[in-house]
Amino acid sequence: MTPPENPEKNNNDSFDDAENLNMSQNESQNESQNESQNESQNESQNESRNESQNEVVIRASGLGFSYDGSEPVLKDINLEIRKGEYVILTGKNGSGKSTFALCLNALLKPSAGKLEVFGLDTASSKNLSRLRKTVCIVFQNPYMQFVGDTVEEDVAFGPENLALPRDEIVRRVDEAIGFVGLSGLRLQDPATLSGGEAQCAAIAGVLAMNPDCIVFDEVTSMLDAESAGRIRHIIDRLHKDGRTIIFISHDPAEILRADRVIVFDKGTVSFSGTPADYIENGAGALPEMTKLLIMFREHGCPVDICGPVNAEDVFRMIRPYLRSWEICNHDWSEKSAIMTDLKNLQSWLIWKICNHDWSEKSAIMTDLKIMRNLKTIQKSEKSWQKNKTDTALSRKKLKRRWPDNGSDE
Tens digit of each residue's pLDDT (9 = 90 or more) over 325-337: 554 555 545 444 4
Instruction: Examine the pLDDT at 259 and tell me if it is beyond 70.
Output: yes
pLDDT, average across residues 99-125:
93
pLDDT category at 8 given cuts 50, 70, 90 is very low
Residue type, 265: D
Please tell me what DSSP assigns to residue 250: S
Instruction: State how far the Cα of 328 lies from the Cα of 96, in Å rounded to an integer.
Output: 46
Q: State the burial class of residue 99 (Cβ atoms within 10 Å of its Cβ: 0-12, 13-18, 19+).
A: buried
Residues facing 244 on adjacent strands: 213
Crossing angle for the helix pair 166-180 and 225-240, to the nearest 10 degrees: 130
Least-confidence region, from 68-82, 131-145, 229-243, 296-310 = 296-310
pLDDT tens-place string over residues 196-217: 999 999 999 999 999 999 999 9
| Cα–Cα distance measured from residue 349 to residue 327, given in angstroms and rounded to the nearest whole number | 9
Average pLDDT, the chain: 78
Per-position b or e across 51-70, b if 16+ CB within 10 A of its CB: eeeeeebbbbeebbbbeeee
Strand ranges in 164-302 using DSSP code E only, listed in sequence order: 213-217, 244-248, 260-265, 268-273
Task: Give Dmax over CA atoms of the chain in angstroms.
Answer: 139
CA–CA separation, 194 vs 219, rounded Å? 14
- Yes or no: domain 56-285 corresponds to CATH 3.40.800.20: no
Band (41; pLDDT cuts 50, 70, 90): low
Residues in the chain: 409
* C-alpha angle 358-360-365 in degrees, rounded to nearest 5: 85
Give residue limits of the domains in the chain: 56-285, 287-409
The per-residue DSSP string of 261-295 comes to EEEEETTEEEEEE-HHHHHHHT-S---HHHHHHHH
Query: Could you report the per-residue pLDDT of 50-103, keeping only the tens digit for each?
Result: 555 579 999 999 999 998 878 899 999 999 999 999 999 999 998 999 999 999
Our CA angle for 111, 133, 250, nearest 5°, is 65
Amino acid occupying residue 125: S
Rounded distance, CA 82 to CA 260, Å? Answer: 10
Q: Which of 1-5, 80-84, 275-279 has the lowest mean pLDDT?
A: 1-5
Strand partners, 113: none
**Position with higher pLDDT, 118 vs 367:** 118
pLDDT at 152 over 50: yes
State what percent of residues in the chain have pLDDT above 90. 47
**Residue 356 confidence (pLDDT):** 54
The residue-averaged pLDDT of 371-400 equals 62
How buried is 263 (Cβ within 10 angstroms: 0-12 exposed, 13-18 middle, 19+ buried)?
Answer: buried
Give pLDDT, residue 245.
97
Question: What is the rounded (10 degree) CA torsion for 186, 230, 260, 99?
Answer: 50
Tell me the residue ranges of DSSP E strands in 47-173.
56-65, 74-82, 86-91, 112-117, 120-121, 135-138
Confidence of residue 338 (pLDDT cuts 50, 70, 90): very low
Against a cut of 0.75, is the pTM above it?
no
